[in-house]
Structure 1
């Protein structure tokens, strides 16, 4: 078993800032510096009725003889010349079945991709870790004194940053593994050994190096887009469990506190908690363990929610799987290496992080479409990438997009990962056309003038919707 007048203005600005950060309004607040990134939207049905018009199986079953769109340049070139695109644009669209390039505009130019970077990270994870791999959070005991009834219990992080505080819930991704369940099982094992009083410590030694990327803006931290990357957290460090709030800067201590509470409920007296992380000794004894959702579900979660913390953790897990250290420095190179081990061409992709918060990342439309095309043609774990992307007008970061008159044709038939920073807007994924032809696409615009990202985003949405509506065979 060892196993407000001024106040009103402040509130108005705060509300606008929240909407800004959620991709609901264009960014005009430029306080040193303004950064608008894809944070933690909570998917809601918007524009389409739940369960209507789209599912992954229908996409996969698009008829092979469906007409291939022609003449897309005549449609897209005028749209992408729109003055609202105040920076350069790179775009490419291919037929998913044949790989034929149907449209290209500066496809090889590198752009800051923002959160479309997560497509690259997801592809690496699915192919290298495997869709069914899980991450283990465990409780281990050392310094056991059965006569005194005492021990030190170590909460050991294994890469699950979507822990719940209560019982494990097999119906959820965020909360699949529960600290309540871990504590109950550990308490039972402790009881069998005659231990009733414990000191707690947290073990975060799985990851090494700085917990922050040097390229991340401090404003991202205060906005809750990122926190210190450690191998265990509750709800990826977000507080409270629901809503859009700044994340805890001590996520490992929060997890240990939740574990302590659950142990107390289970009848174990917690005599104290060590202030700093302590690796469990090699001879520590296993008490209990809980497993995360599988990698396929975890990647879908960070694609849907654009969760930077989860993406960064998964990148470190890819590095560990390839024999590298689990660090922020190793993760970007490991993600690109992972593509190579799958026979995928990373092209000219340059990564400084694996979530997309770092402006130093560079991805071209061509390289992004190459990955999406490989996923669309795959019959292995990589095939799970496209169905994991947000659905236009329905889920994730696209829940409130493609719902107006100009872009509504894309609702339900476009699946894509969004990318937003204060001078960047990007979109990459799949389109099921009006003729039932499946396409893969990427559109990226960077170096935008500040305050124009919202208008640029509208242009890209409208352009993608025109392709979706196209019966132009």
Structure 2
């Protein structure tokens, strides 16, 4: 076969290509290296879908089970964010509104006060305080009606399809609501940060601080200062009871994030406090899941940063809450339905517009947390190819984790990998990890300056995940070096 066309099909490798250099010896060596990688004992009994292509031409340079659909884990965020950049647009912003259906009488607001969430996963406690301060700045000191919390922009399905029950209390498995709050700059919406500090005296209980400060959750604190560092935290299913157990070394502290049950009600707790801080009294009752009337006027509003900025922390830090918010926002934008199903349809329509067939994959959520998501290396490299031709590509590409770069919001989930290799500060890719699932999908430049795109998905392995990650790293080195060794 002529130079420039070499394909791996199942167990057979035919021909030789441009993938790793212009000479037959170098390419043969590279071919053997990829063969050896797939023959690694860590992959015994596992399923692998692998594909490598040239970005400029789109030609396939290497493939192994390219159309075998596997669970992608967080690599799915590539699809979600690319579709969002198209459907919502790079300038899209989430909003949170303060509205009323009543008039003013001096310092009194005669109607209801509505806090309406439009899905912002980045809004924080300080932003809710600013909304309350804005209202006070308008001279309002009393609300005669009810305080209504409107989260109807999204549906009431708080968790994704088939999310694991043991992820429920984790920050990455937080409930989805159109009215939520993030405790940190990572935008882990629907969670609280729990800081435990151990006193110097052994046997004394640890002290607990919550951020944002709230009495919405209850604490069962049996954790004490002591040796062993067996401290742990979890939330009891279906409740907001946080259970703290074990020992924490004297004089040390632990900071962990935990999801809450019903984030809308957490926001209600916090915003009522923010109003009280501003000296604004509410005469009526607190109403959860109310709906803002169409005639209500906006009194104050908070807007997020534009999507083109939000995809950086989303992709770098693999933020599930942000991805799920984007999926439902796409559904609301395209079909006026803030559901995951409508969002998935919006993503499928994006693929169709790009000439891709959405029936060749299965997507059920935005983050990749569900094991019902199924994509192949072919699906991912097709996506990478069409995205490379979009006007917003450079922004999206810059948001991908960069291998070996120690800066958290540059290297992201790849910052500790491939340091001091030819892939460092070269590989731009999204990682994916779950039990028995690993993936790496992205772009890398070879030694001749040519940009390649690749995807490797591995499922059903029984070895430690670190061994699969090491194989992914080996793949990146082979592609970047144009030779057969690490």
Normalising by the residue count of structure 2, what TM-score does the alignment of the two structures yield?
A: 0.74
Superposition map of 1:11-90 within 5 A: 69-70=20-21, 71=27, 72-86=30-44, 87-90=46-49
Deviations 1:314-369 (A, max 9, x none): 00111122125111232223222222234444461111212111111110001101
> Residue 81 of structure 1: CA displacement?
1.3
Pair 1:244–1:425, CA change in 2 (3 A): farther
Query: Are the equivalent residues in 1 in contact too, given 2:427–2:442 (CA < 8 A)?
Result: yes
More strand by share: 2
Structure 2 residue matching 1:409: 3-state secondary structure: coil
Instruction: State the partner residue of 1:164.
Output: 124
- In the alignment, the residues of structure 1 paired with residue 86 and residue 376 of structure 2 have an alpha-carbon distance, to the nearest angstrom, of 21
Deviations 1:97-125 (A, max 9, x none): 11122211111111111111110101110
Structure 1 residue matching 2:149: 3-state secondary structure: strand
Q: What is the root-mean-square deviation in Å for CA atoms of aligned residues?
A: 2.4
Superposition map of 1:219-234 within 5 A: 219-234=166-181
Unaligned runs of 5+ in 1: 1-66, 167-177
Deviations 1:58-85 (A, max 9, x none): xxxxxxxxx8634342221111211112
Instruction: State the partner residue of 2:389.
Output: 377
Instruction: State the partner residue of 2:397.
Output: 386
Q: 1:108 aligns with which of 56, 67, 81?
A: 67
Higher relative contact order (CA 8 A, sep 6+): 1
- Whose radius of gyration is greater, 1 or 2? 2
Pair 1:264–1:80, CA change in 2 (3 A): same
Structure 2 residue matching 1:246: 3-state secondary structure: strand
- In the alignment, the residues of structure 1 paired with residue 332 and residue 192 of structure 2 have an alpha-carbon distance, to the nearest angstrom, of 28
- In the alignment, the residues of structure 2 paired with residue 300 and residue 254 of structure 1 have an alpha-carbon distance, to the nearest angstrom, of 27
Q: 2:105 aligns with which of 146, 151, 157?
A: 146
Aligned residues: 388
Structure 1 residue matching 2:266: 3-state secondary structure: helix
Query: Are the equivalent residues in 2 in contact too, given 1:97–1:377 (CA < 8 A)?
Result: no
Q: 1:180 aligns with which of 129, 140, 147?
A: 129
Which deviates further from its counterpart, 303-312 or 463-472? 463-472
- In the alignment, the residues of structure 2 paired with residue 324 and residue 73 of structure 1 have an alpha-carbon distance, to the nearest angstrom, of 50
Instruction: State the partner residue of 2:190.
Output: 237
Pair 1:102–1:287, CA change in 2 (3 A): same
Unaligned runs of 5+ in 2: 1-17, 22-26, 183-188, 194-210, 213-254, 406-410
Instruction: State the partner residue of 1:169.
Output: none
Q: 1:415 aligns with which of 420, 423, 428?
A: 428
> Residue 462 of structure 1: CA displacement?
1.7
- In the alignment, the residues of structure 1 paired with residue 359 and residue 342 of structure 2 have an alpha-carbon distance, to the nearest angstrom, of 19
> Residue 217 of structure 1: CA displacement?
0.7
Which deviates further from its counterpart, 431-440 or 144-153? 144-153
Normalising by the residue count of structure 1, what TM-score does the alignment of the two structures yield?
A: 0.76
